[in-house]
A and B are shown apart, each in its own frame.
Chain A
Amino acid sequence: MLKALLARAHQGHRTMAYPAGEPPAMPERFRGAPTLDPAKCPDGCRSCADVCPTDAINKDGPLALDLGRCLFCMECVTACPDGAIAFTNDYRLATRRREDLLARGQELALADALERNLRRLFGRSLKLRVVSAGDCNACSADVNVLGTIGWDLGRFGINYVASPRHADGLLITGPVTENMRLALRKTYDAVPSPKIVIAVGACAISGGPFADHPEQHGGASSVVPVDLFIPGCPPHPLTILDGLLRLLGRVEEQRRVPRG
């Protein structure tokens, strides 16, 4: 017992100050929001698109990168002879609309808050049922980590709950395998309306590396309407938290962040 008390004293208080204080520092090599400079692309060059494992980069027209497909793997950066693509340290990536994930060198339209009536319902208490539908357990793990003491998701009134009947919405990871399609649909139907859906990770947004496999359906939108897209492979916990807080209108900052 004494050891437990001493440990408690040593381990200290570890919940981060964010969002009241500064967000935790991201590792120097962290790959967040990309900056694109289509002006740097020589005519006809698409070395980046050729190496992209998920075809997130368009083959024709001005350079565009679909963050919903992007694995943040750096192959395009390495392949580009002219430095037209770079990944910044910016963890803010979540959007409300699928098309807003298309980066063309513009400002990324980060997620708006929920509509007024939903915000009144969920703004201070959002219960989510997490459904893994073919994810590799990396997205699941970094969704789960938000429940640990460093992040303490509960302080925002957000909790993961054991039953869809107790939930206000679903948080979905994975490309939605054929073998999880029915279970996901049933889980969605079991959540009382009004309800929201959050798609976390490249797989849940686009199918990720499995995009054209017949064993899956290319993401959550194939089965249910999605209200928030959080890209990444997997997204950093801070990216996920930022997305959730934006949805609830709890991040006090300019919504549109200028991009290089």
Chain B
Amino acid sequence: MTAGVATHNGRALALKDVPFLEPSQFRGWLVNGVRDKGRRIASYFGVAGGPESGPAADGIGLVAVLADDANGRLSVARASCDGASFASLFPEIAQAHLFEREIAEQYGVTFEGHPWLKPVRYHHSYRPGHDAWGRPSDAAIPPGVMDFFRVEGDEVHEVAVGPVHAGVIEPGHFRFQCHGEQVFHLEIALGYQHRGVERALVGGPTKRTLPYMETVAGDTTIGHALAYSHAVEALAGTQVSARAHAIRGIALELERLANHVGDLGALAGDVAYLPTAAYCGRLRGDFLNMTAEICGSRFGRGLLRPGGVGFDLLPAQVEDLRSRVAVARREVTEAVELLWDTPSVRERFDHTGTVTPEDAESVGLVGPAARACGIQRDVRHDFPAGIYRFVHLPVMTAHHGDVNSRAYVRWLEVQQSISFILDQLDGVPAGGPGAAAGALKPDSLVVSLTEGWRGEICHVAMTDAAGRFSRYKITDPSFHNWIGLALALRDGQISDFPLCNKSFNLSYCGHDL
């Protein structure tokens, strides 16, 4: 066996069908897939103890998911690791860099040949007594306290920002290596938001599992709850009604609209163009209020649940939503189009924070950040699930990889999402909002992908012999994309950092878990 088992988004596999490859074959499969076949790592994580860790006693198992965007295929394979060290893939495939750091931190495994093996979230290893950096298990692990990459030389200086920032924003630490205004290098240290979500998911589902999913990244409540629902439904063999699929799709696109519109306003604010900043700030709220009209919560809390939706759409609500979306379309169009007609905005957006398509592919960017580099990558198109199996959405791209492209892709998606919602409201299928999902299949694995507003959300659920989660791996799009922000700042000006940061608008809590 030299390759992974083929699967689809949201299809349950028996664990015994997921092959254990020899470490060299596992590496070969990943390197060959990414470097030669244009695939990318959607998820790569460790599993400790029990039969999941494979042949090596006291070792850990490694599980990787390769995504083939062009053909809509996923493949999954495992490898057994002795629990002490494993050969790093990073020298050959850059997008493995953070996955390896995460596995090192969670399971105390050293990756040989990884040039920058630092902690990701600053917590103790899941395997007491095993620490990749040899720290005692009772030692405090202060966040961000580690070597940072440094540029040396006369007139080179370092700027440190965070974890508490000037705005209303989550905490993170940023180190810039600068020469005057010019940024040579930016290193981002996160982990301040780490609250132990993945560790707490083991043994589930419990009554707390859905709240965990809804708070992985609160601005992506629908996105993560949808990925979770699909995973559970696959494992439980639950059929979801067409009506529930439609309502979920409306909710996911409303979430995208609120965030994209808010981001366009915030980008305008960062270049001091106040009209669009003011209008979009308000219009973002209008979209949140539409979600609240459906389920009572502006962020969609309680709207999705495995098996269907928690709230049905009444005919009067459909009418109300239709008229509100139509008004919002007019007002958003007016507010956003001011951006493209204002020279002072274009001057600041164009050629700022450019990421090349080669770099974007190499580090495995997802979402609008990838599409702004001309990459055709959108789960709704490539790995459709739920309503997106029935409604085909073209992938919106732009081609310069700069702030303007990231803004423009958002604007294209805003228009697309509005049309999608209006289409759905014109014909919400009959049927019920859904039923409860049953018990989960034991000894199984499912990969569930959803296109959240930031990009690909990947959940991988593994069950034990009793049908409980033995591992539940969450990969928020931010996990792929933070390195993209660092690359966007290369050779840019430090004063452009807020603008570049907002153009990615990544999640701290979704990354920190």
Contacts and interface: CB of A to CB of B under 8 A. Distances in A.
A47 to B, nearest CB: 12
Interface stretch (A114-122, A134-142, A223-231): A134-142
Contact of B215 (A138, A140, A147, A162): A138
Contacts of A143: 168
A147 B507 CA distance: 21
Contact of B192 (A8, A175, A179): A179
B327 to A, nearest CB: 11
A183 B298 contact: no
A106 interface: no
A74 B302 contact: yes
Contacts of B218: 135-141, 234
B335 A162 contact: no
Interface stretch (A35-43, A48-56, A93-101, A246-254): A48-56
Interface of A: 3-4, 7-8, 10-11, 14, 27-31, 51-54, 71-75, 129-145, 147-150, 160, 162-164, 174-175, 177-180, 182-183, 187, 208-210, 213-216, 233-234, 236
B27 interface: no
A14 B283 CA distance: 11
Given A3-B338, A73-B301, 7 more contacts: A29-B294, A29-B311, A30-B292, A131-B171, A137-B218, A162-B166, A177-B192
Given A73-B301, A213-B195, A135 B509 contact: yes
Interface string B371-392: 0000000000000000000000
Contacts of B199: 213
A132 B123 CA distance: 19
Interface of B is mostly: loop
B193 A210 contact: no
A110 B143 CA distance: 38
B171 A140 contact: no
Contacts of B210: 53
Contacts of B295: 29
Contact of B171 (A11, A149, A180, A208): A180
A236 B210 CA distance: 20
B432 interface: no
B216 interface: yes
B221 interface: yes
A53 B212 CA distance: 10
Nearest to A212: B200
Interface of B: 121-123, 142-143, 163-164, 166-171, 191-197, 199-200, 207-208, 210-212, 215-219, 221, 275, 278-279, 281-282, 284-285, 289, 292-299, 301-302, 310-311, 331, 334-335, 337-338, 341-342, 507-509
A4 B342 contact: yes
B315 to A, nearest CB: 14
Contacts of B196: 210, 213-216
A132 B298 CA distance: 19
Contacts of B217: 136-137
A162 to B, nearest CB: 4
A127 to B, nearest CB: 13
Given A31-B296, A135-B218, A215 B334 contact: no
25 contacts: A3-B337, A4-B275, A4-B342, A7-B279, A7-B334, A10-B331, A11-B331, A27-B293, A28-B293, A53-B207, A75-B207, A131-B164, A132-B168, A134-B194, A140-B168, A140-B170, A140-B218, A144-B168, A160-B168, A178-B123, A179-B191, A179-B192, A213-B195, A215-B123, A215-B194
